[in-house]
A = this chain, B = another copy of it.
């Protein structure tokens, strides 16, 4: 996609950029795309599309977190536009009913025979199977306070763990892809099922909340053998935590309404795919800290091997470099932190770029990358700890820019008859 073929110049430009910045934080960080954590198979990968299966809706945890990852995702962040707490509660009640119905492959609201009215469901999922649809709801900071206002008398109920994220080095979060008072993510093995679900929820929110931003995503093919690969061509999510009670679900340390829930850090991470593709494989492997094809840690043979963080070569250099992504995201360097990564790739078309320095790259480039979604029990000891260091040190930052995202408190799942987040409003 570029007019230049000069890989040498491009590589040296990279050196120049990182040198100029003093450290490798010129452009944000992928964050956590292929951390190695333990020797268990990935709970998220190695699945298979199953259009005729439904996922449970009611229960202690919302769907879409521990659920085996579906192929397609459609995420929407919404702003609340009412100032009436009762209307927010009513919306959550309506959303809960609709979500339970759609998860079971029904229309969002029962259809009527009366054709003199608009349809209660837009209809494009009629006769489509459930496709393992899950709907995962989250609350943004703005539900608790907005512009200093305790608009819904909920400020006192904001959990301590739900602290605003700091601005990390390299963050380039643009308003149009950032924040939101409410979030909903539809995941399904059929893209039309996912789109349909969010569309109905947005329609049901008319007058109460309005879309702020959206993001579509796709997972590495679910029929893949073993761990899927992200758009950098490396295995992503080799290992995720298996101890959900310890790392993912909020326990008794949190308020009642968050128990069994989890905190979501979402980050829209643009990847400079064209530049990445021009790097030689050995360099890519140094950046990642793993071998490209096997997924094994550098110096190792098998994907599931633990990282030897102290191994040195004959010259005394670390085999897994100091700035390697896999090293920096390793629990041993992060006070044991682990987060559940459930990322999707995204592909939002192409944009024109026109650089003003050597090698004067001009042309179309992808607006594509990773829609990182990390779930954790406490962001202060999860994402913040890990990304604080990575945002400054990770060699992968040369190719990544965080351009949007948000922090959302996803409450525990509703018991039958409850609505999502009911205990927050009780």
Q: Contact residues of A with B, CB < 8 Å? A: 1-3, 5, 7, 49, 51-52, 71-72, 74, 81, 111, 114-119, 121-129, 131, 190-193, 195, 199, 202-203, 206-207, 210-216, 218-221, 223-226, 228-234, 273, 276-282, 284-285, 292-293, 345, 347-350, 363-364, 366, 368
Are B277 and A203 within 8 A (Cβ)?
yes
Are B223 and A5 within 8 A (Cβ)?
no
CA distance A364 to B115 in the complex (A): 27
The list of the 3 closest CB pairs from A to B, nearest first, reads: A123-B233, A191-B218, A115-B281
A270: shortest Cβ distance to chain B, in Å?
14
A53: shortest Cβ distance to chain B, in Å?
11
Given A123-B292, A224-B127, A229-B123, answer yes or no on A190-B282 (Cβ-Cβ < 8 Å).
Answer: no
Are A233 and B119 within 8 A (Cβ)?
yes
- B3, B111, B124, B280: the one contacting A116 at CB < 8 Å is B280
User: What residues of chain B lie closer than 8 Å to A213, measured between beta carbons?
Assistant: 349-350
- B2, B5, B124, B273: the one contacting A233 at CB < 8 Å is B124
CA distance A115 to B294 in the complex (A): 13
Are A292 and B119 within 8 A (Cβ)?
yes
A360: shortest Cβ distance to chain B, in Å?
15
**Sampled A-B contacts (25; CB under 8 Å):** A3-B210, A49-B49, A72-B218, A115-B280, A116-B282, A117-B280, A118-B277, A119-B281, A119-B292, A122-B276, A123-B293, A125-B221, A126-B229, A127-B225, A128-B223, A192-B345, A195-B231, A195-B368, A199-B273, A211-B350, A211-B364, A212-B364, A213-B349, A213-B350, A214-B350
Are A128 and B224 within 8 A (Cβ)?
yes
A60: shortest Cβ distance to chain B, in Å?
30
User: What residues of chain B lie closer than 8 Å to A119, measured between beta carbons?
Assistant: 233, 277, 281, 284, 292
- B114, B190, B230: the one contacting A71 at CB < 8 Å is B190
User: What residues of chain B lie closer than 8 Å to A211, measured between beta carbons?
Assistant: 1, 350, 364
